[in-house]
């Protein structure tokens, strides 16, 4: 297996070829299901996450100012983790496909969150910007690394979701009982 930057190049190229031959192969449904825990305790929300070769469990507890105990990551941690991991993974993949060897790659995601709208106190935006900083250690030319960055910004699914309106389709099922 040919790997650069811990990216399976053969696997990526194979999927790319599959998509070229059948565009419908590019569509993959992703999802998460979870439950709010009503009993007192540290965990407020639990989700079993199923993935290609297994399953894991994510647990959330809100910060104390949002009614939790602050003993576990809150929802924004997972949101930012999703952005950080997706963008970093896309960058690492684009770099690998361009033949760029990385020595180290780290990411920092942060935003100033205004909770006044959550409490109905103001209409101020909850977030005005999300800051993402990649730190790249490599002997490759800066222009080549910038090319990988541009491709990652264009192709990362989470970056796309942040930069483009995506239709939200909410529904509620109410069961009397």
pLDDT digits (tens, 9 = 90+) for 112-169: 999 999 999 999 999 999 999 999 999 999 999 999 999 999 999 999 999 999 999 9
**What is the model's pLDDT at position 140?**
97
Q: Are residues 153 and 79 in the same domain?
A: yes
Residues 111, 61 share a domain: no
Q: Say if residue 81 is in the same domain as residue 116.
A: yes
Q: Please say if the pLDDT value at position 102 is more than 80.
A: yes
Q: Are residues 88 and 102 in the same domain?
A: yes
Residue of 162, 12, 22 whose CA lies nearest to 84: 162
CA atoms of 98 and 149, how far apart (whole Å)? 11
Give the total number of structural domains in the chain: 2
**10 found inside a domain:** no
pLDDT beyond 80 at 42: no
Residues 100 and 117 in one domain: yes
Whose tokens are 């070769």? That residue is 53
Same domain, 69 and 84: no
Q: Which structural domain, as residue segments, surrounds residue 141?
A: 75-164
41 pLDDT above the threshold of 90: no
Do 91 and 46 share a structural domain?
A: no
Q: What's the half-sphere exposure (Cβ side, CA atoms, 13 Å) at 54?
A: 2
CB 127 within 8 A of CB 111: yes
How high is the pLDDT of residue 133? 98
CA nearest neighbour of 6 among 113, 87, 80, 89: 89
Give domain status of residue 133, yes or no. yes
Sign of CA dihedral 110, 119, 158, 143: negative
* Residue 104 sits in the same domain as residue 122: yes
> 102 and 136 in contact (C-beta within 8 Å)?
yes
What pLDDT, on the 0 to 100 scale, is given for residue 119?
95
Burial of 92 (0-12, 13-18, 19+ CB in 10 A): buried
How far is C-alpha 112 from the geometric centre of its chain's CA atoms? 18
Q: Is residue 105 part of a domain?
A: yes
Whether residue 122 is found in the same domain as residue 63: no
* Residue 133 neighbours by CB distance under 10 Å: 10
Give a yes or no: residue 123 inside a domain: yes
With tokens 């059948």, the residue in question is 22
Edge-to-edge strands, sheet with 45-51: 33-36, 45-51, 54-60
**Is the confidence at residue 2, as pLDDT, over 90?**
no
Tell me, yes or no, whether 155 and 98 share the same domain: yes
Question: Do 112 and 86 belong to one domain?
Answer: yes
Of the chain, the percentage scoring pLDDT greater than 90 comes to: 97
Could you tell me if residue 141 is inside a domain? yes
């Amino acid at each position: 297996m040919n790997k650069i930057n811990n990216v399976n190049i053969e696997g990526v190229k194979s999927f790319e070829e599959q998509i070229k031959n059948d565009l419908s192969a590019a569509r993959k449904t992703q999802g998460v299901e979870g439950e709010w825990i009503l009993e007192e305790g540290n965990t407020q929300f639990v989700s079993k996450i199923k993935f290609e070769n297994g399953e894991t469990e994510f647990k959330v507890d809100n910060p104390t100012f949002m009614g939790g105990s602050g003993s576990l990551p809150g929802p924004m941690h997972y949101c930012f983790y999703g952005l950080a991991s997706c963008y970093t993974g896309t960058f690492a993949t684009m770099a690998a496909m361009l033949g760029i060897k990385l020595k180290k790659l780290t990411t920092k995601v942060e935003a100033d969150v205004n909770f006044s709208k959550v409490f109905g106190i103001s209409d101020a935006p909850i977030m005005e910007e999300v800051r993402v900083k990649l730190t790249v250690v490599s002997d490759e030319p800066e222009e080549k690394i910038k090319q990988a960055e541009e491709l990652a910004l264009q192709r990362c699914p989470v970056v796309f979701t942040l930069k483009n309106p995506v239709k939200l389709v909410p529904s509620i099922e109410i069961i009397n009982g």
